[in-house]
Amino acid sequence: MDRPNWSGRAVASDLIRPAERFQSGWWLLAAIGCLSATGCFFPPPPVDDGSAKLASIAPVRVATPSFIPNGGSFVGSVDVEITCATVGAAIRYTTDGSSPTSSQGTVYDGPIRLTETATLTAVAYWPTMVDSDVASASFEIAAGGQGCAGQYQGTFDGDDQGTIAVTIAASGRLDGTWSDGGEGSGTISGSLSADGSISARGTPSNITASGQFDFTTCTAKGNWSDAAGGRGTWTLSRSP
């Protein structure tokens, strides 16, 4: 510490910047004042740790789940997938229309098979984020293939002619065979939707068939085409 300056001439302590002289002087006076005090304490100035800024940042919400398919009408059953755009998020769901939470509902671990009419709801969540909004979709399941499940026979004509024999299950699944009466024959597989639309494919000629089913008469008709450019029409009726 520099000695007192009684001469009026500048010494080292006079060259200290004013702010530093004030700061060192304040702590010196504080120390002298505390010599006769008990429990004297001078807290350091507050430190900005950024907590105020963090408190002002809005929390991030998990993306709302999506259903595939997103509701609709189906025959017999339907398999529903639930997805979420937030990577790593977990999903819980219910099938009775009630709202799931991060702690209530069934944990989603793969496609859900619905065999009865239901309202599917789902929520996605992640520990460090706000739970997603609840997603909902309604699924109408027509039971028993509308009473038309069973064995069917039919014909196809056009660029090729032959016969068809298929089974339509209560779930709407369609499976069978086709034959043109000669060397051509193969299998048929497809589905019947609740609105009566039929979509099927045949092998080995890469046949594509589509049509409409009449639930009143249990009959169907439509069109077909194959990879060779052949095309024509087809009909089906329930076997006696």
pLDDT of residue 22: 44
Average pLDDT over residues 55-76: 85
**Kind and range of the H or E element at 75?**
strand 72-75
Q: 214 has which bridge partners? A: 219
Residues 6+ apart with CB under 8 A from 164: 152, 153, 154, 155, 156, 176, 177, 178, 188, 234, 236
Q: Is it true that the peptide bond before 69 is cis, omega within 30 degrees of 0?
A: yes
Beginning with the edge strand found earlier in the chain, give each strand of the sheet holding 78-83 in spatial order.
66-68, 78-83, 112-114
Indicate the range of 48-57, 69-78, 177-186 predicted with least confidence: 48-57
CB 34 within 8 A of CB 40: yes
CB 180 within 8 A of CB 189: no
Average pLDDT over residues 138-157: 81
Higher pLDDT, 117 or 120: 120
pLDDT of residue 8: 46
* 71-107: b (≥16 Cβ within 10 Å) or e: eeebbbbbebebebebeebbbbbbbeeeebebeebee
Q: What is the percent of the chain where pLDDT is above 90?
A: 51
Higher pLDDT, 147 or 94: 94
pLDDT of residue 53: 57
Burial class (CB in 10 A: 0-12, 13-18, 19+), 181: exposed
Burial class (CB in 10 A: 0-12, 13-18, 19+), 135: buried
pLDDT at 58 over 80: no
174-231 pLDDT tens trace: 999 999 888 789 999 998 887 788 999 999 888 999 999 988 788 999 999 999 899 9
Q: How confident is the model at residue 140 (pLDDT cuts 50, 70, 90)?
A: confident
| Domains of the chain by start residue, with CATH | 66-144 (2.60.40), 148-238 (2.40.128.120)
Average pLDDT over residues 105-110: 96
3-state secondary structure 83-118: ECCCCCCEEEEECECCCCCCCCCEECCCCEEECCCE
Residue 24 gets which letter from DSSP?
H
